Structures are given as C-alpha cells and as structure tokens.
Chain A
Amino acid sequence: MANLLLRRALLDAVRVPIGARASSELAKVGNREWVGYGFNGQPNYVDRPDFPLPAVRFRADTPDIKVLREKEKGDWRKLTLEEKKALYRASFCQTFAEFQAPTGEWKGAVGWALCIASLSVWIYMAMKLFVYSPLPASFDDEHQKAQLKRMLDLKVNPVDGLSSKWDYENNRWK
C-alpha cells in the first residue's frame, strides 16, 4: 500500500501532459496493486512468456482476497489447495499452460485456403465454358500431323533437334 502511494506520488511529481501513456495506463489500473516493473515500466497487465511477472496484480483486492493475503503471511503449508489457486488467480489471469495452449487456428486457416483455392478452379471452369472461344481447327489431330510432316519436309533443326530424330531413308522415327 505504501509502495503504491509512493509510486503515485512520484508520478504526480513528474507531471506529464494528459496524453502521456503512464497516466492513461494508471487510469485503467484502478485499485489493483502496482507490484513491479513489468515489461516496459508502465502499470499494465499482459500474460507474456518472456515477461512472466506483470506490473500489476490481475484482480483488485476484495475482502476475501485480503483475508487470504493475511493467511499468506503465515505458514504456507496451512493454506489449502483452493486457497493457493485463489491466490494465483488473484495475481494472474491465465497460467502458462492456458495462454500457451494450442488454439486450433491452423485448421480454420487451412480450411479457408482450400475453399478459396477450389473457388479459383470453379472460376476457371466457368471461364472455359462461357468466356473462351473454341480452339481453332488447326489444333485437332489431323492438322497437327500435317504440320509435323511439313516440319520434317523442311528439315527443321536437322543437327540436334526434330529432324535429327527422323530416319529419312526408312521414313520412320529413329
């Protein structure tokens, strides 16, 4: 308690403009005890694995918490498990296991990614059906064979390419 008064007095002494962060953080703290430096010196509460002890207690002291705090000053072996848990929850919001628990967010992410990918395939099919003109006649088998024959007659790429693979004496592929 004296600590809190001293720190508020210090803050008042170093009066900064209203827009400064400390006073707005302090306004949100309310009655909760400012117990430490935290991660940036401001009186805030965040559950962080890299700064395990936040600057303020999570809950303000209610009468039953005050009773527990008195008991806490005595032998800790006399505290029941429920009281110990209550003391923890008074100071902290979530345990490490809770704030590090897997959220399953990846399932939604993968699911939505696949949905959008399949949508893109549907859009392509629709484009093929309704937008693109039919392929020209020169794409069918008969025309392709005629084009290939013309390329061989012209001896296209005779050294290492197409015509080098054609056996001209026996009229077949090598």
Chain B
Amino acid sequence: MLRSASGAFINVVRKSLVPASRVSSVIPARWSHDGPVESDEEFDARYEAFFNRKDIDGWEVRKGMNDLCGMDLVPDPKIIKAAMHACRRVNDYALAIRFLEACKDKCGPRVGEIYPYIIQEIKPTLTELGIETPEEIGYDKPELALKNVFDM
C-alpha cells in the first residue's frame, strides 16, 4: 500500500513539474488505484459502444446499467441514448423506464439542474422509440403503497 501510495505521489509530482507531451490529450479525470487513467470522453465512448452492440442481450444491458449506476457519476446523455436503443433491441420497455428513474436518482441533490438537461438531450430518442419519461407515465410520484414488513 505504501509503495502504491508513493507511486501515485511521484506521478502527481512528475506531472506538475514536467508537463510531459504525451499527456496533452488525456486529462486524468478519474484516478483508480494505480490503474490506467481514462478521460471522460473515453469513458463515455466506451459505454456508448457497449450499449450500441448489435448482439447485446438483456443480461449484459442490466449488468452495464447496474455498474454505471454504482459509479460516482451521472450517465452522460449519449450513454443514456445508447442504453435506450439497447432496451429497444432486447424488447424490454420496463427496463428503459427503470434506467431513466435510476439516472434521475443519480443526480442527487442537483436533480433540478441536471435532470431537465438530460431529458432535453434525450427527448428526440425517447420520441423516436416511443418511450415515456417517468413523469409522463406518472411514476415520479408514488402510485401504490406497500405494507411495511415490520408492521405485519
């Protein structure tokens, strides 16, 4: 652990003292523990390509979405559009709605700023595929109530 910590420190020092030419295009936006550094654009492109695979199946779509929702980020509208197309390919409408709800939840306290932007960006795709937003379906407010298991 100490060796890797010093490695990261030396990396930071090196980057700040000697701006190496090779790092000009790659902005280290996400540091994993000594792993390879990927820029935001590369990350977005990777996930977009993943969801755009023609042969993707329901299992992979769900795994990709769960992984994405586990990360400390709000999925880019590009990725969400690709995910919507993936849902269409696997013929699962509920999946699309669930993913949109999850993306809204990922916005956290800034949902008022981020979520309208996302919807604005993906609206053409939603209209093209015939997917409603959670608000249009009525799932932005609770519809049904479930009895608490501890009160039974």
Contacts and interface: CB of A to CB of B under 8 A. Distances in A.
A85 B98 CA distance: 11
Q: Chain B interface secondary structure, helix, strand, loop or mixed?
A: helix
Contacts of B88: 76
B132 A84 contact: yes
B57 A91 contact: no
Interface string A20-45: 00000000000000011111000000
Contacts of B104: 96
Contacts of B59: 3, 35-37
Contacts of A79: 93, 130
Interface in B67-98: 69-70, 88, 91-95, 97-98
Nearest to B148: A103
B101 A95 contact: yes
B63 interface: yes
Contacts of B119: none
Interface in A103-128: 103
B98 A73 contact: no
B97 to A, nearest CB: 6
B140 interface: yes
A90 B100 CA distance: 17
A62 to B, nearest CB: 15
B39 interface: no
A38 to B, nearest CB: 8
Contact of A36 (B66, B93, B134): B66
Q: Chain A interface secondary structure, helix, strand, loop or mixed?
A: loop
B57 A3 contact: yes
B105 interface: yes
Contacts of A84: 93, 97, 132, 137
Interface residues of B, number: 38
Contact of B145 (A38, A49, A78, A98): A98
Contacts of B139: 88, 95-97
B36 interface: no
B59 to A, nearest CB: 5
B65 A53 contact: yes
Contacts of B47: none
A77 B130 contact: yes
A53 B66 contact: yes
Interface in B124-152: 129-132, 134, 137-146, 148
B62 interface: yes
B133 to A, nearest CB: 12
B99 interface: yes
A85 to B, nearest CB: 6
B146 A100 contact: no
Given A35-B62, A76-B131, A98-B146, A91 B95 contact: yes
Given A85-B137, A95-B101, A50 B69 contact: yes
Interface of A: 3, 35-39, 49-53, 69, 72-73, 75-79, 81, 84-85, 87-88, 90-98, 100-101, 103
